[in-house]
Structure 1
Amino acid sequence: MITMTFETLALPLARPFVISRSARTAVTVVRVHLTDGEYSGTGECTPTPHYQESAESVTEQLVQIQSHVEQGLSREALQQALPQGSARNALDCALWKLDAARQGKTVWQLLGVDQPESVISAETLSLDTLENMVAAAEEAVAGGVKLLKIKLNGEKIVEKVAAIRHVAPHATLVVDANESWTGLDLESLFHALHDFNVAMIEQPLPAGHDDELVRCLHPIPVCADESCHQRSDIAHLRDRYEMINIKLDKCGGLTEALAMCTEAKTMGLRVMVGCMLGSSIAMEAALPVAVQAECVDLDGPIWLAQDAEPALRYHQGEVWL
């Protein structure tokens, strides 16, 4: 018999996190705890209002499925019992941890995947004035960061990237528009950014309104984030994107994320692993997918005023396990 509990926590940020459509000074997460009295597992999710989620809606889903989980619902059955999204993510990851503990293994061992010493992760530059973003980039690369993810809206795009490239000449740069480039001359913009050796552009147009990418020549790979939630989305994206961003909160957990990774590669799409703001509990769960990805963005904990314990170590642009 399993006992399932869950809690909602508001985690203050150390500094504001700003993207094209929102600004945050705290993040609300939901944690699921499972125990059979001897072994336990915990999972964490970050409900996202942009995807019509809240802590209340996630909690409601967990209440509805609690009795089934406590009676032994398997990970496989969970995939049909809950829709993709944050609630299923927290529960799926908790079940992975519980199953591994019961077998005296780590999740890595359960998957048959070698655990690396570290993984290179992006550090995000929050949307801000050009001067502040350049200062943040200088601080990041001085600390050894190798991959910078630049949050942008429709203003001063090339100017900001040019200035950041100037102070970070050796860093890999990726740009995240968060659906904000509607109405811009994308082809000219992509070619201008190519001059600054931008490695990838993430979600330039709103989900469901990205047909322009089919006709737009882009010398830089474009990655689907808001347009790609689960495995069934992938086939419809191949004519406009070269890469997909897999996030456990979007797809509903490690089980679906691993399947998405396999599906994407089968269809010739490259893989990025991303995250919502959250603690090391959520980031650690995504690491078995991250080792299969070309680009990793799991920097959520560095934005928190206080991380969960045991915390992952972030140092010189890498997550150390």
Structure 2
Amino acid sequence: MSGLSMRLAPVSWPLVRPFRIARAEYRTVEALRLELHDGRGNRGRSEALGDDYHGESVASMRRQLEDSRARVEAGIQRVPLIEDFPRGGARHLLDAALWDLEAKRSGVPAWRAAGIGEPRRRVTAFTVGLGDGEELAAELRRVAGFPLLKLKVGGDDPRPLIERVRRTHPDAELILDANAAWSIAQLRSWLPALPGLGVSLLEQPLPPGEDEALADLDHAVPIAADESVDDTATLPPLIGRYDAVNIKLDKAGGLTEALRLADAAGAAGLAVMVGCMGGSSLAMAPAAVLAQRARWIDLDGPLLQREDVSPPIRYEAGWMGFPEPELWG
């Protein structure tokens, strides 16, 4: 793919309310947008936040891409990206833009090129950040009737929060996400109550590096790796310790590697969840392809923001549509 022109632009998305997790608080989503133009009227584009858990930022992604501009514009290819670029947000931006550009040039949608069946709308989690009092009550009113909620928790006993949510959302499926904030003692103490509270998935309870403690843990609720898994290379140590993996394109370094990771996870008997770092519908679009294969989906970034791109992905009462070709792919 020769004769490309690369354009980069930062974008800031204000959030509906401050979003808190165990290790951070966010008031805006800072992302980088990339466009590739082929000089023949075709454009591929993407948006990513990068992997802040590993120290990435808009500035670091931009530096990496600017340092590689000559190689990109000389005609970089999507598949060799996995060998030529380290995993992370910059590679994801290039990968996603190349998927889009290939679709625009060929007329073959990205989902078909990826070997995915005819896309359909899917249930996505709505993530409820850390909070209490009226702030939490307002958030729960906003998602009345949503079929899947993801509750962020810290190092405190999560059972009072779950019980409160259950009073207003008795039928919702619940995912609990500790963002690696628990100790093994806390996990052993709180885990037995989770099935009775209707929790269907527990995400990353322990810090990365402590995963071996899960190997002999008796648990009825599946446990998913998030911070412990990035790409295919990081999967083998997790087999036999986790029941599922949360695949995020910013961490994996793009849809191409994420699809490989999903294949490897499935072969190892692990269920697939697809998540995001946040962002607009453009940031969600490539992950929507992988979402067609996932057991759990957490692609609610646009729902947490005050604004979105046009045309947006359509969200309705916890259901996520598939991106229009005009948006991506």
Superposition TM-score tier, normalisation by shorter sequence:
over 0.9
Q: Measured at CA, do residues 228 and 130 of structure 1 come closer, stay the same or move farther in structure 2, by a change above 3 Å?
A: farther
1:58 matches 2:58: no
Q: Which amino acid aligns with 2:306?
A: A
> How many residues matched?
319
1:154 matches 2:148: no
Three-state SS of the structure 1 residue aligned to 2:205 is coil
**Gaps (5+ residues) in structure 2?**
323-329
Deviations, residues 33-56 of structure 1 (Å, cap 9, x unaligned): 001122110011102332111212
Q: Which amino acid aligns with 1:289?
A: L
Report the counterpart of residue 285 of structure 1 in structure 2: 286
Q: Distance in 2 between matches of 1:133 and 1:80?
A: 45
1:142-221 equivalences in 2 (<5 Å):
144-182=145-183, 184-221=185-222
When structure 1 is superposed on structure 2, of 102-111 and 88-97 the one drifting more is 102-111
Deviation of the 1:12 alpha carbon: 1.3
Q: Distance in 2 between matches of 1:183 and 1:268?
A: 24
Contact conserved, 1:4 with 1:66, CA < 8 A, in 2?
yes
Contact conserved, 1:130 with 1:160, CA < 8 A, in 2?
no
Q: Which amino acid aligns with 2:158?
A: I
Report the counterpart of residue 70 of structure 1 in structure 2: 73
Deviation of the 1:213 alpha carbon: 1.4
Q: Distance in 1 between matches of 2:89 and 2:235?
A: 19
Q: Which amino acid aligns with 1:32?
A: L
Report the counterpart of residue 325 of structure 2 in structure 1: none
1:90 matches 2:93: yes
Deviation of the 1:9 alpha carbon: 1.6
Q: Distance in 1 between matches of 2:222 and 2:65?
A: 38
Contact conserved, 2:184 with 2:213, CA < 8 A, in 1?
no
Deviation of the 1:106 alpha carbon: 1.8
Contact conserved, 2:51 with 2:88, CA < 8 A, in 1?
no
Between the two proteins, what is the percent identity of the paired residues? 38
Report the counterpart of residue 254 of structure 1 in structure 2: 255
Deviation of the 1:109 alpha carbon: 2.7
Contact conserved, 1:134 with 1:167, CA < 8 A, in 2?
no
TM-score by length of 2: 0.93
Q: Which amino acid aligns with 1:128?
A: G
Q: Distance in 2 between matches of 1:236 and 1:131?
A: 42
Q: Distance in 1 between matches of 2:184 and 2:222?
A: 20
Q: Distance in 1 between matches of 2:184 and 2:233?
A: 28
Contact conserved, 2:6 with 2:72, CA < 8 A, in 1?
yes
1:35 matches 2:37: yes
Structure 1 segments, 4+ long, off by >4 Å, are none
Q: Distance in 2 between matches of 1:130 and 1:48?
A: 31
Contact conserved, 2:244 with 2:270, CA < 8 A, in 1?
yes
Q: Measured at CA, do residues 210 and 25 of structure 1 come closer, stay the same or move farther in structure 2, by a change above 3 Å?
A: same
Report the counterpart of residue 104 of structure 1 in structure 2: 107
Deviation of the 1:156 alpha carbon: 3.7
Pick from 113, 127, 131: which aligns with 2:130? 127
Three-state SS of the structure 2 residue aligned to 1:195 is helix
Deviation of the 1:81 alpha carbon: 1.2
Deviations, residues 116-172 of structure 1 (Å, cap 9, x unaligned): 34111000111101664354234312xx31000000001241110111122211110
**Gaps (5+ residues) in structure 1?**
none
Q: Which amino acid aligns with 1:46?
A: L
TM-score by length of 1: 0.95
Report the counterpart of residue 276 of structure 1 in structure 2: 277
Report the counterpart of residue 17 of structure 1 in structure 2: 19
Q: Distance in 1 between matches of 2:186 and 2:16?
A: 36
Q: Distance in 2 between matches of 1:156 and 1:131?
A: 20
When structure 1 is superposed on structure 2, of 104-113 and 24-33 the one drifting more is 104-113
Q: Distance in 1 between matches of 2:203 and 2:301?
A: 17
